[in-house]
Amino acid sequence: MDASGTGTTARRDTTLLGLATALAATDSVEDVALAVRDLMRQDLDAAYTSVSMIEGPWLTTPALGQLDDDTEQRWLRLPLDVDSPAHRVSRTGRPLVFHHQAQLLQTFPGTADVFRRTGLRSGVVLPLLISGGFRIGALTIAWDVERTLREDESVLVAAVADATAQAARRAQLYRERRDVAHTLQAAMLPELPALPGVQLASRYLPWSPTDEQVGGDWYDAIGLPDGGVLLLIGDVAGHDIEAAARMGRVRSMFRALAVDRPDEHPAALVQRLDHVLDTLGDHTLATMAVVRLDPPGPDRRVRWTTAGHPPPLLVDAAGRSTALEEEPDLPLGVAPERPRHDHVRPWPAGGTLVLYTDGLVERRGRDVGDGILVLRASLERTHTEPLETLLGELVTQHVANSEDDCAVLAVRDVG
C-alpha cells in the first residue's frame, strides 16, 4: 500500500474512532443523529445529515436544525409508503446515490419542490441494517454542491451507516424499556380514596441512573367499612422489572387479605401475608409498615405494625412529632413462623401521620436514625402547611442527594 493509501486508512480509522466515542455517550435517536451530523460536517463537508427510523407504519426523522423549520417539521413523521429517498431506502434496503439535483428530481418528481427549496444537490442514502439484515431506517448524507464520493469516502460512509444503525437501534430499545418501565410504575401506584374526616396525600419519586428501571417501593390506602382507614407502605428489594413484579404481587395479596377481613389488626394481616407468600414459594424480601386509623370519634386510636421498616411519624396540631417506634418485627420473607406485634396509641385531634420508605431518610455516610430526626424537624416546621404542600417540601428537602426510590404517604385529621 502506498503512502496515500496508508494515510487514507488512518484518517478513516480516526474518524470511526471519533464516531464510536461520540455514539457511546448517546441514549436517544436524536443524540445519535446529532453525533453523525457533526462528524459528517467535519470530515465530508456535508450540508445535511439525517437519521430516519422505522416506527411501525411511520418513518421518523428528527429535526436537527439544518434546513428551514417547515421542511424539518414536515419530515418529522411521515407514512412509510411516502416516495422519498429515505423512505424508499428504508423500505427496500437498497442504497441510493445522487450526483446532481436533476437526477434526484427525476427519480422523485413528487418531492421536487421540497428538494429545490433545500438547496441540496447531491447525496447518498444508505439503509440502516442490524443483525440478520433487518432494516430499521436510513442514513442520508447530502451536499449543496454536486459531488461524487471517492472510493475511500464510500467505504467510510458505509462504515458510518453500520455504526449508526447499531447505536440507533440501541437507543430505540432503551426508549422502549424506559417507556415500559414508566408505564408499569404508574400502573402500580393507587388512586387514593376520598374518605370522610381525613385527607390523604402521597408522593412517589423513582431513582434510577438510567431512567429505565422501576423500583420496589409502594404505598396504599384502603377505606374500611367502619369508617376507618388502613394505610400501608413497603419496599421490595431491587430496582428492576422483577422487583416491580414482586411488589405488585405483594400489594395485591395484601389488598385481598385486607378486604377479606376488614376487622383484622395490622399485625395479623402482615402475618397472613407472610404465610401466603411462603406457602406459594414466593421468596420476596420486603419491608413494610401498616397502620390502622380508627374512624373519627372521641376515643380514636392509631394501631400499627412494622416489618423491618422505618417508623411512621406522627405530628400533633401543636407541631410536636413522635416516631411510632417500637421494636420492629422482621421483614417479610425472613421467618414467616415468627409472631408479629401491634402497637397502639391515642390519635391526637388534628394530627398528621407520615409513612415513608428509607429513600427519604437514608444517605451514604449518615445513620438512618439521624435522617429520621432531620425529617421530624422538617415535619414540625411545616406541619401547618396544606398536606400536598407539606409533602412537596419534605420530598424536595430530602431526596436531592438520594440514591434510592422514595415513597411517602400521609393522612391528616380534618374532621
Polymer length of the chain:
415
Q: Interior CA angle at 236 toward 231 and 237, to 5°?
A: 150
For residue 345, what pLDDT is reported? 95
- The residue among 295, 297, 287, 291 whose CA lies nearest residue 324 is 291
19 residue type, one letter: L
Rounded Cα gap, residues 19 and 225, in angstroms: 64
pLDDT profile of the chain (415 residues), mean per 10:
60 83 90 94 94 95 91 92 94 95 88 84 96 93 93 93 94 79 68 89 72 72 93 83 80 93 95 94 92 91 96 94 91 93 94 92 79 91 92 77 78 86
Does domain 189-413 fall into CATH 3.60.40.10? yes
- The residue among 79, 171, 82, 92 whose CA lies nearest residue 129 is 92
pTM equals: 0.64
For residue 209, what pLDDT is reported? 46
DSSP state letters, 133-171: GEEEEEEEEEESS-----HHHHHHHHHHHHHHHHHHHHH
For residue 410, what pLDDT is reported? 95
Q: In CATH, what number does 3-182 get?
A: 3.30.450.40
For residue 25, what pLDDT is reported? 87
Domain residue spans in the chain? Answer: 3-182, 189-413
For residue 245, what pLDDT is reported? 77
For residue 207, what pLDDT is reported? 59
